[in-house]
Amino acid sequence: MRKFKKQILLVICLLFITVTISSCNGGKKEITVASKQFTENILLSEIYSQLIEEHTDLKVIRKQNLGGTSICFPALEKKEIDIYVEYSGTAYNEILKLPDSTGMSGEEIYNISKEKLYEEHDITMFKPIGINNTFALGMLRTKAEENNITKTSELKDISSSLRFGANHIFYTRLADGYDAMADLYELDFKEALKMDTSLLYDAIEQNKLDVIVVYATDSLLKKYDMVVLEDDKELFPPYYGAPICRNDLLEENEELVEVLDLLENRITDTRMQELDYEIDVEGRTPEEVAREFIKEEGLNK
């Protein structure tokens, strides 16, 4: 009988401990917010994480710096993560593998991507954040102003005197790589060099290159005082950033719908460059920059 009472007492104690731990955790449901492996995506992931914590009772598990689309999207479908920021051009080309998007507007690509993700993958792509992290050509501001260049098409008459640089991948892309660019814009550079992305900015600063391929929201554009040339013949597909989330999670947590649209058109390419600059160059943490951004935008609860 004593042994039986001890067993009962043990069970009661275990139940008490379990309830206590649950109470300490607030009984919060957990969701996982992930990111790709570059500053912009990590920062956006942190901003959304803080917004979710601020506006809901959900507990956020962060999986930042997880990997590219080939890792993040399957993880989303397998319910290993719940939310991450994707790009319309990436969704269109890499995830959905839709036909060549050359000449299509950013809105068309976004709308088609959103529709297909919903229909084929039961995933919602929320409203665009405002950034378009697409490929572009960049020049030092002094060089561009010296030659009165603001558009890619204006390089045509002077390209034979300019040195061009891009990473190896750019030369292998069919629809929007080097050959397609040279054909569309009738460019014939004095030199066309391949080098790691990390070396391109140093090369242009050291006057070893005149034109390089950049990402439109890269913080190094600000650091090196560069200008992004307008892609006036629309070679590069738009890459509108927007959070994506599984519909089953949204059905269980309806409060997320409003939160995930809070950044709609709030961040321009220039603002994104500045935010990334604070992290990449000034050494601030994504947590600090995200917290300050949310306060400045009046997004606190």
Has residue 190 been placed in a domain?
A: yes
Backbone angles phi, psi at 155, to 5 degrees: -80, -20
110 and 18: one domain? yes
From the list 298, 254, 288, the residue with the least C-alpha distance to 43 is 288
**Which CATH number characterizes residue 170's domain?**
3.40.190.120
Q: What tokens appear for 234 in the block?
A: 């629309």
Task: Tell me, yes or no, whether 149 and 34 share the same domain.
Answer: no
pLDDT of residue 23: 42
* Whether the Cβ atoms of residue 126 and residue 266 lie closer than 8 Å to each other: no
Residues 93 and 224 in one domain: no
In a domain, 178, yes or no: yes
**Per-residue model confidence (pLDDT) at position 272:** 96
Residue where a domain terminates, one of 172, 197, 229: 229
**Phi, then psi, of 254 in degrees rounded to 5:** -60, -25
At 234, is the secondary structure helix, strand, or coil?
coil
- Tens of pLDDT, residue by residue over 9-46, are 554 545 444 444 444 445 679 999 999 988 999 999 99
Q: For 93-137, what is each residue's pLDDT tens digit?
A: 889 999 878 778 899 999 999 999 999 999 999 999 999 999 999
DSSP 75: H
- Regarding whether 208 and 263 lie in a shared domain, the answer is no
Q: Does residue 264 sit in the same domain as residue 288?
A: yes
Summarize the confidence of residues 48-65 as an average pLDDT. 97
Q: pTM of the prediction?
A: 0.81
32 and 169 share a domain?
no
- Residues 73-95 pLDDT 10s: 999 999 999 999 999 999 998 89
DSSP state of 96: S
Q: What six digits make up the tokens of 301?
A: 């609860």
CATH of the domain at 15: 3.40.190.10
Structure tokens at 44: 């956006």
Claim to verify: residue 117 and residue 149 sit in the same structural domain: no
How large is the angle between the packed helices 286-296 and 269-280, nearest 10 degrees? 140
Residues 187 and 265 in one domain: no
| DSSP label at residue 160 | G
Residue-number span of the structural domain to which 291 is assigned: 9-132+241-296
**pLDDT, mean over the chain:** 91
72 shares its domain with 210: no
Number of domains in the chain: 2
Same domain, residue pair 209 and 257: no
